[in-house]
A = this chain, B = another copy of it.
Amino acid sequence: VKTFFTPGPSQLYPGIDTFFADALKEHVMSMSHRSGAFSDMFDRTVANLRTLMDIPSDYHIFFLGSATEAMERIIQNTVESRSHHFVNGAFAKRFFTTAQELRKQATETRSSWGDAAKGSDMHVPKGTELAVFTHNETSTGAALHMEDIYAFKRANPEVLVAVDVVSSAPIVKLDFSYLDCVFFSVQKAFGLPAGVGVLIVSPAALAKAQYLEGKTTTGSHHSFASLVTSAVKSQTPATPNVLGMYLLGRVAADMNDKGIDQLRERITGRAARLYELLETHAVLRPFVKDPEYRSDTVIVAQTQDSTLLARKLANEGLMVGKGYGDYKTAHLRIANFPATSGEHVDQLMTALQQCA
C-alpha cells in the first residue's frame, strides 16, 4: 500500500473508485457534451463548487485543461500591456513568464524563494492592469496572507487581482469581492486525477475581456467571451474533460456534506503538528522561516539529502515530494491535503521522527 503526500498529483480522494463506477453506470463518459444530461452535470458541479468556496453568483466558473492554461487565458483576456507579478517561487515565475511570452510588459516584485510578499511590499507600477499573487507557492511552501491582498485591492480598486490558489483551494477561505481571477487545479487538494483547471472570473474581469476583444487577440475557443457564451448554456466551448468535471462535482459535494469549516480546521491542525515536528527535528527544518507565512497545505522541509530520506519513506509506502527545481535534493515537500487521513499523517510523522 502506498500513501501519496506528493504535492500533486497526490493521494486520490477516498471513494474515487465508487465515483468512477457511478460515472460508468450513468454513462458520463459516453454522453454528448451538447446534451441535457451534460448540462445537468455541469450545473451540479458548478453549484457544489459555489457552495464549497462561497463563489458569488455573478462570478463565472470556467473549466480549462490545467492551471497553467488558466495563467495564459488570464493574461490574454485581462491585460492589454501591463501586469505586475509578486514572485517568490517557480509557479509565480511561470505566471510572470507567461505574460512575457504573450508579449506583455510584465513587471515583478521578487522575494527570496521561501519568503512571501507582505502587505507593505504590495505596490504596483502606475498603469498596472493586473496584479498577480500566488497565494500558495507549491514550489517552496510559502503562503501569502489573503488579508494583505484584500487591503491591496481596497487601495487599488482599479487594478484587477488574480490569485493562484492551485494548491490551497478549497482549504483557503476566500472573499471573492476583492478578487477578479482565481484558479486552481484538481490534482492537488481536491485529490482528483489531473486534467482540469478551474478558473473563476469576476464581472470586472469579464468586462475587461470584452473591452480587449476588439483591440487584440484574446485567444480563440478559450477566450473569456467564448467561455462565457458556453457557460451560460451550461456547456463548454470544446469537448472538455467530462469525467474530471463529474468527479470534481462529486468530491465538492462530499466536502460540503462533511463541512468545509471542519475540513479547514482539520488541515490547519495537522499543519501545526507537522511544523512543530520539523522545528524540533534532528535533521529537518521548515524551509519557510517565518511561521506567519507557512502554507497549511504544502509543507516544505529543508534537509541535507532529501533523496535518501524520500527513499526511506517510500520503503514504508509513504510517498513524499522531493524539492522543486534547484532544491530537488535539499527539500522534502509534504502535501497536507484532505485525501489523506489522520492515521496516514500519524504514520508519516512517526516515520519522519525516526529519520535522523
State the Cβ distance, A19 to closest chain B Cβ, in Å. 11
B residues near A196, Cβ cutoff 8 Å: 195
A194 in contact with B240 given A65-B64, A68-B221, A98-B221 (CB within 8 Å): yes
Interface size of A by Cβ–Cβ distance < 8 Å? 56
Interface residues of A (CB under 8 A from B): 2, 4, 6, 8-12, 16-17, 20, 24, 27, 29-33, 64-69, 71-72, 75, 94, 97-98, 101-103, 185, 187, 192-196, 217, 219-223, 237-244, 319, 321
Contacts of A68 in B (CB 8 A): 220-221, 237-239
When distances are taken between beta carbons in the complex, the residues of chain B under 8 Å from A222 are 69, 72
Partner of A72, one of B195, B220, B239: B220
Give the residue name and chain of the B residue nearest to A65 (CB).
B65
Closest 3 CB pairs of A and B: A65-B65, A195-B241, A68-B238
Q: Are B72 and A221 within 8 A (Cβ)?
A: yes
**Using Cβ atoms and an 8 Å threshold, which residues of chain B touch A185?**
239
Tell me what chain A mostly uses at the interface: helix, strand, loop, or mixed.
Answer: loop
**Of the candidates B75, B194, B217, which one forms a contact with A33 in the assembled complex, judged by CB atoms under 8 Å apart?**
B194
B321 touches A32 (CB 8 A): yes
Nearest B residue (CB) for A23: B193
| A12 & B32 in contact (Cβ 8 Å cutoff) | no
Q: Is the CB of A102 within 8 A of B241?
A: no
Whether B12 and A29, one on each chain, are in contact in the complex, defined by CB atoms closer than 8 angstroms, is yes
Contacts of A187 in B (CB 8 A): 29, 239
Chain B min CB distance to A184 (Å): 12
Residue in A4, A16, A72, A241 with the greatest tally of chain B CB atoms within 10 Å: A241
